[in-house]
Amino acid sequence: MKEQPIGIFDSGVGGLTVAHAIKQILPGESLIYFGDTAHLPYGDKSAESIRYYSQRITEFLLEHNSKVVLIACNSASASAFDSLKKEFEGKTILIDVINPVVNYLSTRNFNKIGVIGTKRTISSGTYEQKIKQKSPLTTVISLATPLLVPMIEEGFIFDDISNAIIRTYLTNESLSGIQALILGCTHYPIIKNQISKIFNFNIEVIDSARIVSMILREVLDKNNLLNDTGNVKDQFFISDYTTYFEKIARMFFEGEINLKKADIWS
Ligand code: DGL
Report how many domains make up the chain. Answer: 2
Domain boundary among 188, 208, 228: 208
CA 88 centroid distance within chain: 20
Domain boundary among 183, 208, 233: 208
Q: In whole angstroms, what is the distance from residue 143 CA to residue 4 CA?
A: 38
- Give residue 43 CA to ligand 1 midpoint distance, Å: 6
φ, ψ for residue 107 (rounded to 5)?
-95, 0
Q: In whole angstroms, what is the distance from residue 34 CA to residue 188 CA?
A: 18
Does the beta carbon of 37 sit less than 6 angstroms from any atom of ligand 1? no
CA 183 centroid distance within chain: 9
Check residue 26 and give its pLDDT: 97
Whether residues 131 and 166 fall in one domain:
yes
Whether residues 200 and 214 fall in one domain:
no
Does the beta carbon of 126 sit less than 6 angstroms from any atom of ligand 1? no
Check residue 249 and give its pLDDT: 87
Check residue 1 and give its pLDDT: 87
Q: In whole angstroms, what is the distance from residue 25 CA to residue 221 CA?
A: 13
Q: Average pLDDT by consecutive 10-residue portion of the chain (266 residues)?
A: 96 94 96 96 96 98 98 98 96 97 94 97 97 95 96 88 97 97 96 96 96 97 96 95 85 82 94
How many alpha carbons lie under 13 Å from residue 180 in its C-beta half-sphere? Answer: 19
Which of 126, 187, 239 has most ligand 1 atoms within 8 Å of CB, for mutation? 187
**116 and 75 Cβ atoms separated by less than 8 Å:** no
Whether residues 25 and 85 fall in one domain:
yes
Check residue 6 and give its pLDDT: 98
Question: Residue 33 falls within a domain, yes or no?
Answer: yes
Whether residues 90 and 218 fall in one domain:
yes
Question: Residue 171 falls within a domain, yes or no?
Answer: yes
Check residue 15 and give its pLDDT: 95
Whether residues 11 and 66 fall in one domain:
yes
Does the beta carbon of 118 sit less than 6 angstroms from any atom of ligand 1? yes
The domain in which residue 142 lies consists of 99-208
- Give residue 10 CA to ligand 1 midpoint distance, Å: 7
Distant-in-sequence, close-in-space partners of 197: CB < 8 Å, separation ≥ 6: none
Question: Residue 239 falls within a domain, yes or no?
Answer: yes
Cross-strand pairs, 237: 34, 260
Q: Which of 216, 205, 221, 264 lies closest to 239, judged by CA?
A: 264
Whether residues 114 and 201 fall in one domain:
yes
Whether residues 147 and 221 fall in one domain:
no
Whether residues 22 and 104 fall in one domain:
no
Q: Is the pTM of this model over 0.85?
A: yes
Check residue 68 and give its pLDDT: 98
**142 and 122 Cβ atoms separated by less than 8 Å:** yes
Q: Which of 16, 76, 32 lies closest to 227, judged by CA?
A: 32
